[in-house]
Chains A and B, each alone.
Chain A
Amino acid sequence: MMSPEQSAVFIIDDDASVRESLYSLFRSVGHLTQAFSSPREFRVANLPDMPGCLVLDVRLPGQSGLEFQREAARSGMLLPVVFITGHGDVPMSVAAMKSGAIEFLTKPFRDQDLLDAVHRGVEIDRKRRAEAALVQELRNRFNSMTAREQEVMALVANGQLNKQIAAELSLSEVTVKVHRGHMMRKMQARSVPELVRMADRLAGDTPRS
């Protein structure tokens, strides 16, 4: 369940009345909301550290909304984006969706549509953040192990028996068992399958674009 205080919505639109109305709307459903009149303002702002979603007008003076989103994504901004526009151009909407936007709405939109899209965006961001946090936690646990323990973990996750691990690492079986115990404890894995999942997560944690 979404706990309303924990989500943020960021609005970028050069039209003041649009900004104000959206600001009021999002706050009325409980989002922490910030409004900006240009991408430049947004870039220099301190953003709260919580799941969020960006609502962006496609046509802005200077850099277009689409260009900004692409550039921001390239430089590592992972916020989901919902596009709004006062002009209904189809090619632009296709381009927007292809570059990964959650939704593309033309004014005047039904506010429920916007709220739903933002909700989806916030949930996606929430999951991503939770995932990132978990991976970070695992990484911390991994880094707290000794080199031997890390080696043992890799081999255990591969499905090898203690005897095989001992042979491979030129250790005695007893030593392997000790390392294994430490490793399972430090990783907080209750079973080998769980450990395998953790190992997968760590291995698959490549920087997302």
Chain B
Amino acid sequence: MLSDGLFLLSELPPSPEQKRLAIGVVLALLLASAITAPFARIQLTNTEAMLPAYAAAVLVNELITSALLLALFSVQRSRAVLALAIGYLFSGLMVVPWSLSFPGVLPAADLDAGLQSTALVAALRRIVFPLLVVVYALLKDRPAVAMKSQRSMRQTVLVSVAGVVFVVGSFLWLIFVNHEVLPRLMADKSIASGPWWYVAWASMILYVAGMLLLWRSRRSVLDLWLIVVLCTLFIEIVLLSFISAGIRLNVGWWAGRIFGLISTSMVLIVLLSETTALYGRLARSVSAERRARENRLTAMEALSASIAHEISQPLASMVTNADAGLRWMAKANPDLEEATAALKRIVRDGHRAGGVVEGIRTMFKKGAQERAPVNMNQIIGQALSHAQNEVQLAHVSVRLDLDERLPTVIGSSVQLRQVIANLVSNAVDAMQAVLGRARVLHISSGREEPSRILVSVADSGTGLDSLPPDRIFEPFFSTKAEGMGMGLMFCRSIVEAHGGQLWVTENHPHGANFLFTLPTSDVQTSPGSTA
């Protein structure tokens, strides 16, 4: 599920299938290169005509990738992604002058002044792209830029694009107009000269550096496929510069180009399909969130009605007691005993209302939301010691059957304690009316395979009274809860928020048995899954 928040391409970890695919692509590439190597020097003359097609494919590929990354940047605001997008944009834009100036492609335009232009453009492409990938690898683990508005994001994108265009323009001016100041990379129109090798080595170093940096800090789908891209480019340059001895338009040269194109197309296809899959998952996640929120609102309404009721009961009693007390005292013969009793009841009811408020506060307090490993046996012990007075006054005997090797659960000890306290309190109340048989409170805990614990709180009281078992969890159902005054609906919502279930059955021969399950700590709960 997307509940862990990692759904951007630059954050989503790759699935095992994707990793296998990436490895497969690289291996296939190596294999293909190995196969073509022996034939590398075979010259394929007059194939310049294919070049514009190849260049067009590369252009489309790289521009789309750049657009994808710019979109990603505007969502994620990561400078690393922006750098990468600029790299792809630069590379894509530069392919146009490269192909146009390639000797033989457009002879009439005569763009290859001094035979160097194409090679210089190619050199820039080979250097700048991996450089920006390295920048991405270095920057990507930094935290995202602070929240900027949509407009300023768009502005950044536009400025970056304009910047790239400007830089490209400047380079092109330098190359095509002023190339005398630049190193000579081509000996003739098809054989590379000395300085080209520097370019080749420099780019190989950059590819390897990029691969290492990405490998070391790899996390996401994007990282994985960038490694593949760099691998591809490395193999490509090996094929172009070494295996085919730096001569253009031979088998090795074309092989390098074609393999390069295929693998970057693959990368693009994977990224696009990942994006659409994410889109679908996001849409489902959003509607699931909406449903969960609606459920929460309904539950909250019911909860606040329940709270209002739990507080208004003791308040009403207090008012009536006070009124009764006043009347007892206003008689001709004031009955102080009765008045005192009334006042004492007021105190008790006041505490009860206070207990309800306290219960509500604890439930929504920050501490109550914290989750940590919890031993339910300890919780049960704590809740029982709090309720000791109540239990003893009601002459209830407690029987405990707690599994010593009970696994821990992840949860809020405060909330779970309240659940036990409430169930105990209900059990004691249910047994108030019992005469002529033992009042036994039986609490047990144990592991329920494969990954849950089961806790039960059973009493020997009046039982369910032929009620449908679920009715007592309804918010308006009259409860006998005193003390915490928090009703079974609270208990159920706490248990369910912890990933468990709470239900009630008849206890034999008398009484009711409240049972709840909780997932053990080796099974992580995700709150969204119970919505």
Contacts and interface: CB of A to CB of B under 8 A. Distances in A.
Contacts, number: 93
Most buried by B among A87, A112, A114: A87
A142 B127 CA distance: 126
A61 B319 contact: no
A22 B348 CA distance: 15
Contacts of B335: 28
Given A17-B345, A61-B467, A25 B327 contact: yes
A86 interface: yes
B151 interface: no
A15 B478 contact: yes
Size category of the B interface is 35 or more
Contact of A108 (B315, B341, B348): B315
B317 A61 contact: no
Contact of B327 (A18, A28, A62): A28
A111 B323 CA distance: 7
Nearest to B314: A17
Contacts of A17: 313-314, 317, 345, 348-349, 352, 482
A160 B338 CA distance: 64
B324 interface: yes
Greatest chain A CB density within 10 A among B320, B321, B465 is at B320
A21 B345 contact: yes
Interface residues of A, number: 27
B313 A18 contact: yes
A112 B321 CA distance: 13
Contacts of B7: none
Contacts of A109: 316
A173 B257 CA distance: 143
Given A15-B313, A17-B352, A108-B312, A25 B320 contact: yes
B320 A111 contact: yes
Nearest to B429: A16
Nearest to A17: B317
Contacts of A57: 478
A62 B335 CA distance: 37
Interface in A20-40: 20-22, 24-25, 27-29, 37
B395 interface: no
Given A18-B316, A108-B312, A87 B342 contact: no
Contacts of B328: 24, 28
Interface string B464-504: 01110000100011101010000000000000000000000
Nearest to A29: B327
B216 interface: no
B399 interface: no
Given A17-B345, A22-B320, A24-B338, A86 B314 contact: no
A86 B312 contact: yes
5 contacts: A20-B321, A28-B327, A59-B476, A61-B467, A107-B316
8 tightest A-B CB contacts, nearest first: A107-B316, A108-B316, A28-B327, A25-B324, A21-B320, A111-B323, A24-B324, A17-B317
